[in-house]
Amino acid sequence: MSYEYDDQNIFAKILRGEIPNDTVMETEHTLAFRDISAQAPVHVLVIPKGPYVCYDHFALEASDAEIVDFTRVIGEVCKAEGVQEGGYRVISNAGRAGVQEVPHLHVHVLGGRNLGRMLAKG
């Protein structure tokens, strides 16, 4: 499968500085910022700066440096947001079945309350 990246998506605009964001941390390859419509006391989005549509695109085509940086930032966000002890959930929605709204890879880091079961039945 080939991946087509739409550079007009809202996270691409955030990365270009065209739209403001509430940054939690930023590194060479990765940006973490608060979700505008938080679903838990902690709801941070972690995105790579590169043009990757979804998780499998990133996992298959990103450089080792990007993958290491992205993964480390997820860990640093958990630490900085204080959810390590109480627990948290990391989610990445992809494509139609995953009901992905923004076509730029993002991982949701959620915590600060009991998040319930992973999926509602059916």
Contact assessment for residue 58 and residue 105, using Cβ atoms and an 8 Å cutoff: yes
What residues are paired with 109 via a beta bridge?
44, 90
The answer to whether 100 contacts ligand AMP (rule: CB under 6 A) is: yes
- Main-chain dihedrals φ then ψ at residue 40, nearest 5 degrees: -160, 165
Per-residue interface string for the shown chain with ligand AMP, residues 31-70, x marking contact by CB under 6 A: ----xxx-------x-------------------------
Choices 1-9, 30-38, 82-90, 113-121; region in contact with ligand AMP by CB under 6 A: 30-38
- Which residues lie across from 34 on neighbouring strands? 44
* Alpha-helix residue ranges (DSSP H) falling in the chain: 10-15, 55-61, 64-80
104 is catalytic: no
Nearest residue to 107 (alpha-carbon basis) of 84, 85, 86, 76: 76
23 or 27: CB nearest ligand AMP: 23
- Minimum CB distance to ligand AMP, residue 84 (Å): 22
List residues near ligand AMP by CB under 6 A.
10, 19, 21, 35-37, 45, 93, 99-102
